[in-house]
Structure 1
Amino acid sequence: MTTVEAAPLPPWVADNADGTYRNPVLHADWSDPDVIRVSDDFYLVASSFHRVPGLPILHSRDLVNWSIIGHALNRLEPEEAFRAPRHGCGVWAPAIRHHDGRYWIFYPDPDRGVFVVTATDPAGPWSRSHLLKPGRGLIDPCPLWDDDGSAYLVHAWAKSRAGFNNKLTCHRMSQDGTALLDAGRYVVDGDALPGYRTLEGPKFYRRDGWYWIFAPAGGVAHGWQSVFRSRHVFGPYEDRVVLAQGDTPVNGPHQGAWVTTARGQDWFLHFQDKGAYGRVVHLQPMRWVDGWPELGEPAGQPVLSYAKPDVAAGPLAAPATGDDFAGPGLGPQWAWAGNPQPGWWCLDPGRGLRLPCVLSDAAGDLRQLPNLLGQRLPAERFRATTTLRLTAALAGARAGLAVVGHSYAWIGLERTADGTALVHRAARAGESEVDAAVAQPLAGESVGVGVEVGPGGECRFLAAVGPEPLRPVGPPFTATARHWVGATLGLFATAPPAAGPGGAAEVGPLHVTGADT
């Protein structure tokens, strides 16, 4: 009898397979999560900032096991503005709702205003974005369709663009979500609340005759989650802190969504800022006591492990990471650092992913390279490996596997006047790239490369020539975050303009496993 070997588990699985789960339920940079339930399905949307495609959509049946089902934005606008990476810009915290038979996502571009996209299927296709309210500094929008047929929109403010923050503004909105009907007014002024700073990320709800605004304050790294309630949509609102770090290692905890299962259980998802790993997503039990929500256990503190939601059991799942590049397209985990251009990639049957060496003035700085094909770091500990080959490249062309944030490092191949060499290079924040290990000339053009990532974002880059096993190359490198996002695990192929056209990297299947696999 033939024995079938089980597929390796993803680097991080939150389901303990015993009726409990561990936090974070998503140990990757699914920042600013908002979640809804439609029938027995849960859908999560996250901010994506400068990454393309934007507005990733995740699906779950139990709030613990998640998979990526698509994106709501294929490109970022204006087209020319996002041809190069615009770190810290693009798509900030969105809100997703299901209303009138459609799915709606309201999202901000802090430099342009608040936009709306809609779809009849959350997997897409999604409509072209509609500019609901132009302006700088408008962030974190969330709609509310009330029982009496009226509609509203609440949003926060970014001090970097508007010159102020710590306030929440509410507008009347048309039922079709295409226009705001008034100039809006402040409904919560954080400056008038003792100890409040950086109030943002509001989510708008209605329950038992009360209007509820869930909103964090205090900043992403050291803040807390508050809830505001009022009998009237425009206030006055009273407040209560409902979730804080307490005695746990979960700093923040910040900005998320209240969702109720089909059986009436209440849950709250929020993020925790984990530096190089980005904003990872936690799931908290929620209950109502004396007219207010209580989150976590004991009340007001995040749980590290808990009984799963009372819903039908499903298979263990986690967002995709590795990719066999067998087609017909790239896996949904991938995103570019800028709007992709024709010819940046193709899938070559039997040979994997082909990345042409795109000529770029940013060839010497991966932080500015638009054709960096990347994904989120998928766990605190993991190992990523692949093979690389440079074909017909002129001197200066290079390709590799990288970990990119404010600092970055990569391992791969570079074509020199003497042939192809295995190189390992790194750049500290604000500094230029330098050699991290001595270049090794290659007789052939193919090499195995990899990276092992451990606690604290410590990376060890790996390489193997020919049949040799992968071995560490150079000193350890500590990954760092970028503007509002975690570090990126990326692939690239590029050359300086002086190198002239020609050349490509052939990338074999990317395997991403737990670090001890």
Structure 2
Amino acid sequence: MKYFKSTTVALAIAFTTMAEVVAQNKNQTLKEEIGIADNGNGTFSNPILHSDYSDPDAIRVGDDYYMTASSFNCIPGLPILHSKDLVNWTLVNYALPKLEPSEVFSKAQHGGGVWAPCIRYHNNEFYIFYPDPDYGIFVVKTTDPLGKWSKPMLIKEGKGLIDPTPLWDEDGKIYLTYAFAGSRAGIKSLLAVCTLEKETLQANQDDVIIIDGHEGETTIEGPKFYKRNGYYYIFAPAGGVPTGWQTVLRSKNVWGPYEKRKVMDQGNTPINGPHQGAWVTTQTGEDWFLHFQDKGAYGRIVHLQPMQWKKDWPIIGEPYGKEIGKPVLTYKKPNVGKSNFPVTPLTVSDEFDKPQLGLQWQWHANPQVYWGFPSTMGYYTLYCQPTPENATNLFDVPNLLLQKFPDEVFTATTKMTFNARFDGEQTGLVILGLDYTYLKVSQKDGKLFLSQVTCQNADKKGTETESKSKALQSNTFYLRVNVTKGAVCTFEYSENGTNFETFGKPFTAKEGKWIGAKIGFVALREGKINDAGNVLIDWIKFTK
């Protein structure tokens, strides 16, 4: 009996130890994945998305959570992300296949296009209200967020109108709050409210200013409209993107006057300027807040904060004062009524073996059909397009196939086959922002050469510099970039996929115009021809 008892204890210890080893191995595997926030033990670590999903807004519909974000000039636009637990997100669709006016956005319009959107669900329909600061406020809608969305409808015309949020009130009235972009409107740090027509959603001319942020709330913007316990609430960041805080306004009357309170700031954390986002309530009644943090070259990455109410005022994050919170770094996952949802990193690697382009890819303008084609033959084909006449450098080139940086540290390796038909045609792997660099493969005298091209201040018509070139023996090659903390990029190449050599100089990536740095492919030529060369992109793999 004593032997049986000791054996049982020994087996229990062994199984416990084995379980701990399995858990440790699982957690280690998760840490090695790209962009994983789920720690695999019931907790998560911020950011939940170390990727540029700027100005996030989110809702819950039943057991599903949906998020959208700014997309600016990148197309397709208005990304739709889905989650079951607010921590693991998957990019599932886009609401905007192209930008209007189509002719204007056939060219790269950096910093234009879709600014901070708002997603809402009302009467069995999904709505996204979004601003284009050069035209006004638009709406798209659908009954299926994974399906096709309606064409954009302009509901409030006006240059400089941004950050719209609707509120359907209990009495049937619809209100809209919004802000102003000083670069277009000539005024800023103001929030306004107007009403919308019930059937058409067209804005009425009854706008009322509800706060002038020049007194204590400099650069107040990004309002999100809610109602709770008879109070109208407007969540709005202030103080500027890199250094600001979260302010909340409340009033019993939709037109005001509104009280205000700072409910979250950086505190003693490394999370600078916690900026605009979304309040979401789970199935179990927990309140959470999603927001972004500006992280330079990595863009505006997404964080998730617990939220609590105290005397009808919210406190976001970890309380550290009577009325204010600070961002959490690691915290227990939201209680959504269920558990054991799979850990799902964003899809970033691509085998290019499907008859449609992966959702992680975007262009810098409305695409033309002949820029490139997917196929079931195991590769994506990019065709060498003429460099635009007005292009000083790659910053002005629309046909760049790009995706967001997926994490703080990563390695991206790609296999490409370049079928150049004429001298001067080129392709390559590019890191693009206000500065850029790329490993360029070009044809000269019928042969292929590898070089590194770099441009500083590309947005200000900076000129390119090019390294010494190296002859390649084959038109199939492998290019690699290693990105370390601080967005420092180093490059390698290989002609057999096994032996890689360092090439070129290290490069520190820089953010783009309101977006993070991006990684992807280029295929260009000088002048138009009736049979341009192409590059077959076999695959790209992202690893830690």
Relative to the length of structure 1, the TM-score reads: 0.95
Instruction: Give me the identity figure in percent.
Output: 46
Distance 1:165 1:111 in 2: 15
Q: Decide whether the 8 Å contact of 1:397 with 1:499 is kept in 2.
A: no
Runs of 4+, deviation exceeding 4 Å: 6-9, 498-501
Q: Decide whether the 8 Å contact of 1:409 with 1:427 is kept in 2.
A: yes
* Offset, 1:483: 1.1
Match of 2:128 in 1: 105
Match of 1:330 in 2: 357
Q: Decide whether the 8 Å contact of 1:394 with 1:499 is kept in 2.
A: no
Pair 1:141 & 2:161 matched: no
**Letter matched to residue 508 of structure 1:** D
SS in 2 for 1:422: strand
Structure 2 gap ranges (5+): 1-28
Distance 1:162 1:15 in 2: 42
User: Structure 1's 207 and 467: CA in aligned 2 closer, same or farther, altered over 3 A?
Assistant: closer
Q: Decide whether the 8 Å contact of 1:389 with 1:413 is kept in 2.
A: no
**Letter matched to residue 410 of structure 2:** F
Q: What are the Cα deviations for residues 194-236 of structure 1, in whole angstroms up to 9, with x where unaligned?
A: x321110000000000000000011111111100000000000
Q: Decide whether the 8 Å contact of 1:204 with 1:213 is kept in 2.
A: yes
Q: What are the Cα deviations for residues 317-373 of structure 1, in whole angstroms up to 9, with x where unaligned?
A: 122111110112111111101100011111243341110101123677221110001
User: Structure 1's 8 and 420: CA in aligned 2 closer, same or farther, altered over 3 A?
Assistant: farther
Q: Aligned Cα RMSD in Å?
A: 1.6
SS in 2 for 1:510: strand
Distance 2:147 2:200 in 1: 19
Q: Decide whether the 8 Å contact of 1:395 with 1:499 is kept in 2.
A: no
**Letter matched to residue 451 of structure 1:** V
Q: Decide whether the 8 Å contact of 1:8 with 1:513 is kept in 2.
A: no
Q: Decide whether the 8 Å contact of 2:422 with 2:446 is kept in 1.
A: no
**Letter matched to residue 371 of structure 2:** W
Match of 1:379 in 2: 407
Bigger CA drift: 266-275 or 167-176?
167-176
Which of 142, 158, 173 aligns to 2:196? It is: 173
Which of 394, 402, 426 aligns to 2:430? It is: 402
Pair 1:460 & 2:490 matched: yes
Pair 1:28 & 2:51 matched: yes
Distance 2:375 2:165 in 1: 43
Pair 1:427 & 2:472 matched: no
Distance 2:430 2:165 in 1: 36
Pair 1:356 & 2:383 matched: yes
Pair 1:43 & 2:66 matched: yes
**Letter matched to residue 463 of structure 2:** S
Which is higher, the Rg of structure 1 or of structure 2? 2
User: Structure 1's 275 and 8: CA in aligned 2 closer, same or farther, altered over 3 A?
Assistant: closer
Which of 148, 151, 155 aligns to 1:132? It is: 155
Q: What are the Cα deviations for residues 463-506 of structure 1, in whole angstroms up to 9, with x where unaligned?
A: 11235422321111000011110011111111111777410011
**Letter matched to residue 304 of structure 1:** L
* Offset, 1:392: 3.7
Pair 1:302 & 2:320 matched: no
User: Structure 1's 47 and 309: CA in aligned 2 closer, same or farther, altered over 3 A?
Assistant: same
Match of 1:200 in 2: 221
* Offset, 1:179: 1.0
Match of 1:476 in 2: 506
Structure 1 gap ranges (5+): 1-5
Alignment length (residue pairs): 506
Distance 1:484 1:387 in 2: 30
* Offset, 1:389: 1.8
Distance 1:147 1:498 in 2: 59
Q: Decide whether the 8 Å contact of 1:269 with 1:283 is kept in 2.
A: yes
Match of 1:3 in 2: none
Bigger CA drift: 219-228 or 6-15?
6-15
Indicate the structure with greater helix content.
2
**Letter matched to residue 434 of structure 1:** T
Which of 236, 252, 272 aligns to 2:257? It is: 236
**Letter matched to residue 233 of structure 2:** W
Pair 1:151 & 2:179 matched: no
Q: Decide whether the 8 Å contact of 2:355 with 2:376 is kept in 1.
A: no
Distance 1:476 1:141 in 2: 41
Distance 2:32 2:141 in 1: 34
**Letter matched to residue 479 of structure 1:** A
